[in-house]
Structure formats: C-alpha cells, structure tokens
Amino acid sequence: MSDTERLLPLDGWHRRLGARMVSFAGYSMPIQYEGIIAEHRWTRESAGLFDVSHMGQLLIAGADAGTALEALLPADLAILKEGRPKYSMLLTEEGGIVDDLMITRRGDHFYMVVNGATKEGDIAHLEARLPRTVVVDHMKEQALLALQGPKAAEALARLVPEVAELSFMTAGAYTLAGIRAWISRSGYTGEDGFEISVPAASVESLATLLLDQPEVRPIGLGARDSLRLEAGLPLYGHDMDTGTTPVEADLHFALARRRREQGGFPGWNRIAAELRDGPVRKRVGLMVDGRQPVREGAIVVDADGNEVGKVTSGGFSPTLEAPIAMAYVPTASAEPGTAISIAQRGRVFAARVVPMPFVPHRYHRKGAAA
Amino acid sequence: MSVYYSKEHEWIRVDGDVAAVGITDFAQAQLGDVVFVEVPEAGRRLSRGGEAAVVESVKAASDVYAPLSGEVVEGNQALVDDPALANSDPEGAGWFFRMRLSDTHEVNDLMDADQYKAFCDSQ
C-alpha cells in the first residue's frame, strides 16, 4: 500500500471478508473476494453488494443552481423532477467528456455522483465555472453502496419495504435500521438494483445487515468491470475521456432534446455538427472469435493493417463465455455485423460489431411487470 | 523425479530428461479465474527465459516463460479445452506442456519447494 493511498470506510470490513485489495482511483479497494467469475454470476442470479464509496458525492446548491449547471452539462435540469436521477456529463469546450455522472434534484439542491478517479478534478472544474452564488459541497463523510441483481429488491425490501415503490431511475430518502439513506434504483451492472448513500459512520452496520440477507454476497471491482462491460456501459478514462465526444461515445441519451436544439453548453458546436453529419468514429460492441480476449489498447486495423481505431475495454464475458470488447471504429464500420480486425501482441483477431448491451438489461421499469 | 520452481511461479517436474511445466498454486491464485490458455506445439524449441505459453484470466494476460531450454514434447490439450483446470488443479491436471531438456544442469538454477515457499512469502 502506497503512502498516498486512501482507505475506504469499509476497508477493515473488506479485509475481514478475505478481499484481495488493489489500488484503484487513489484508494485501496477490493478487486475480488471468492473470485471474479463466481461473483459475476452471483450478481446476475441473486444480489451482489458493491462498495463504491470511492465515488464522489456532491451537493450543489444556491440561487439558480440549475441554470448555472446547465451551462456546464447537456441535461435539461429545468424539467428535471425531484428524485429522478439523470445521466449526464461535464464537457470541455471542444465537446470532450470531462466526466460522466448522475445528477438528481433533491429539494433546494442537486445531488451529483461522479467517478472516484476524477472527483477532485470535477470539483475544481465546477468551482472554476459556477457563479459564486452556487456552492459545491463534497460529501466526504458519505459512503455509497450498490446492491445489484434480480434479488436485490427482495433483499432490500426486507429492511425497508418502501423501496418497492421505486422504479428504475427514481430515488428518495428512506430510513433503514435507523440509518438515514438516500436510495436510488439504479446501478452499473445492467441488473435491477439500488445505490444507497449513507453516512460513512453507519456504512459498516448497513453493509453487515445487507450481507446478512441470504441473497447477498460481496462483489469486488473485478466483477463490477465484467458486469458493466456485458451491460455495454462505458467506463470513464477507458471508453471515454476528454478526447471523445458524447456522440462518438454513442451516449446520445445524455443529450437532452431541448439542449440539442438550443445549445448553451460546452462543445455544443461540435456536438451539434456530429449529430447532424455523424461522427467520424463511434464506440461499438465487438464479439471476438475464439476464446482469447482482446484488451484495452489493442488496435483496430483495416485490410491493409493500418490503424483505424482502438479497443477501449475488453475481456471475457462470464455470461456469454466468450470474449467481448468495446472499441472505437470508423463510422462506416460501425454497423452491426461488420467484420473488424484487431491487432494485439503481433497477432490479428477476427471480431464483428454487435449491438450493445451484450447481455440484456433487466431494469425494473415503471409500469412493467415485476 | 524431482519438482523445482521458478521465480516466474512455474513448477517443473523433472523425470530423467523430460520435464512437465505448469503454473503454481500461488500463481493461479494471483491470476484469478483463467479463461484462456495457449500451449506450445510439440517439436517447438524453447530457450530458457523465452515465451512458451500464454495464460489469460478475466482481468489480464500473462506469458508463461520456458524455465529451461529444450524441445516441446506435448502441450496439454485438456487445459486448452478447459482453462479452469489451471485454477482447480494447477499442479496436476492443469499442467501446460512437457519438454525434453537440452541441458539437465539448468535445473540447478531453480528453487526447491522450501526455497520457493520462502520466495512467495517474500512477495
């Protein structure tokens, strides 16, 4: 453990559970407990508990905070209802992605969850651009857990029955076992599930209580990555960064309709042009022939061996039992079914473009059968 | 028959001038779930320290280096077909390849079980 590495509120708890700890986003974090594939499968079949307390939780408050934030991100905050988390992103003037995030209106302020590795930069980015009347509060004493999987609702409802009223992408304040929690029905696995924000001082008793439920096992970062890859969900710093736009990253849904038309957020000129004319390259999903995974950094090559793109995430899908990847490819090669060649360590792999998600999402949508 | 270990966390079981090679239990635990293995073809010449095989876990790809010089007698097709053998039985059914040694004296540079245990403890 390096001197600069920070410890999660649940650090000792992870170690007592036998987690293997690695350095990630400046924290010592659990990469696995019993094994990545077993944890991955458990999450798809039952319910997995993830400690994501490294992520940044921010409160943004002040006069006209919504208007001020709209100058920095492409969400329509004017129509954003209370307790409805929205996926959005901070953008550079060139339309590059500074970070992706979730933003929720909560009474007189906004609650924002940003990536752990980028949170300090995000705060600086926000503070440098928001008017003085708008204040950014980094909730350093707040922990974040995710409970994900088809049995997550059953397990959580045993502790707080009211969560049954939540549908995908809705959130509210609840009390469970005497702990005040902000619970959102959302996640990063493609499964139904919840993200639960609680004071760091209470997170260990909550984590223990959740783990006492027979459906629940602890899940490390390794399975979190393979689950999100199967779900087609991009990872900041890998599948997108300041050099990629939301249109290239195929994240159009983060661009609210009114904002696409009216602009008024950084990078709008380029983003509007890409929406109109199409981007030169696009993030796609790939199925790779054989069993050997292609990894981040592998090169997409054309028939003459010229580099035309790159793999940004790649691994072995435990659900499909096959290698899958995300890559940026020229838009002309982005249609499902297109054959793609990947060069990695002196070898060429055959792949084809497939629609994402690789494994269907199973969110609990409003109005859908339970 | 003697078993030796390398600093690259391979075990080498030597019987006369033929050695079976695999990754140790320590190595498989570090790698995690193995999802892909490539083993060398029979007849391939290996020189000590050169790339001999590939092992990939969910998270990462690693090379397996030839711990000794010689010629491959056989790659373990059962391991290629079921890479999880490298996790479930790393020092048995999960062997990678067998090779005929060109210089049996090279084993003197490897570790015995006690030395290897101390080496792992120091990692």
B80-103 pLDDT, tens digit each: 999 999 999 999 999 999 999 999
pLDDT at A1 over 60: no
Q: Which residue of A has its CA nearest to B63?
A: A345
Provide the pLDDT confidence category of residue A16 given band limits of 50, 70 and 90.
Answer: very high
CA gap A273, A245 in Å, rounded? 11
Contact between chains at B36 and A36 (C-beta distance less than 8 A): no
pLDDT of residue A72: 98
Contact between chains at A222 and B38 (C-beta distance less than 8 A): no
* A145 three-class SS: strand
Provide the pLDDT confidence category of residue A4 given band limits of 50, 70 and 90.
Answer: confident
CA gap B120, A256 in Å, rounded? 55
Q: Which residue of A has its CA nearest to B59?
A: A315
Query: What's the complex ipTM?
Result: 0.87
Distance from CA of A45 to the nearest CA of B (A): 19
pLDDT at A340 over 50: yes
| Two tokens, residue B28 | 């498989």
Task: Identify from B33, B37, B62, B77 which residue to disrupt to test chain A contact, counting A C-beta atoms within 10 A and taking the largest count.
Answer: B33
User: With a CB-CB cutoff of 8 Å, which residues 322-361 of chain A face chain B?
Assistant: 323, 345
- Residue linked to tokens 């059953």: A154
What's the CATH number where B115 sits? 2.40.50.100
Contact between chains at A318 and B32 (C-beta distance less than 8 A): no
Tens digit of pLDDT for each residue in A74-124? 999 999 999 999 999 999 999 999 999 999 999 999 999 999 999 999 999
User: With a CB-CB cutoff of 8 Å, which residues 190-229 of chain A face chain B?
Assistant: 222, 225-226
Provide the pLDDT confidence category of residue A366 given band limits of 50, 70 and 90.
Answer: confident
Average pLDDT over residues A154-177: 97
pLDDT at A369 over 80: no
**Candidates A38, A292, A345; nearest CB to B36:** A292
pLDDT of residue B60: 86
B51 in contact with chain A, both atoms CB, cutoff 8 A: no
pLDDT at A370 over 50: no
pLDDT of residue A2: 52
Task: Write down how long chain B is.
Answer: 123
pLDDT of residue B75: 97
* Domain tally, chain B: 1
pLDDT of residue B1: 78
A32 in contact with chain B, both atoms CB, cutoff 8 A: yes
Average pLDDT over residues A231-259: 97
Q: Which residue of A has its CA nearest to B32?
A: A35
Instruction: Give the residue, A5 or A338, on which the prediction is more confident.
Output: A338
Q: How many A×B Cβ pairs under 8 Å?
A: 40
CA gap A135, A5 in Å, rounded? 28
- For residue A199, which of A6, A10, A63, A4 has the smallest C-alpha distance? A10
pLDDT of residue B59: 81
Q: Which residue of B has its CA nearest to A40?
A: B58
Tens digit of pLDDT for each residue in B51-79? 999 999 988 899 999 999 999 999 999 99
Percent of chain A with pLDDT over 70: 98
Average pLDDT over residues B11-30: 96
What is the residue range of B88's domain?
2-121
Helix, strand, coil percentages for chain A (3-state, nearest 5): 25, 35, 40
The mean predicted confidence, pLDDT, of chain A is 96
Task: Identify from A41, A292, A320 which residue to disrupt to test chain B contact, counting B C-beta atoms within 10 A and taking the largest count.
Answer: A292
Residues of A in contact with B61 (CB under 8 A): 293, 295, 345
Provide the pLDDT confidence category of residue A3 given band limits of 50, 70 and 90.
Answer: low
**Candidates B32, B35, B38; nearest CB to A222:** B32
What's the whole-model pTM score? 0.95
pLDDT of residue B123: 80
CA gap B116, B120 in Å, rounded? 6
**Helix extents (H) in chain A:** 11-16, 36-45, 65-70, 119-129, 152-159, 200-211, 221-230, 257-262, 268-277
Percent of chain A with pLDDT over 90: 96
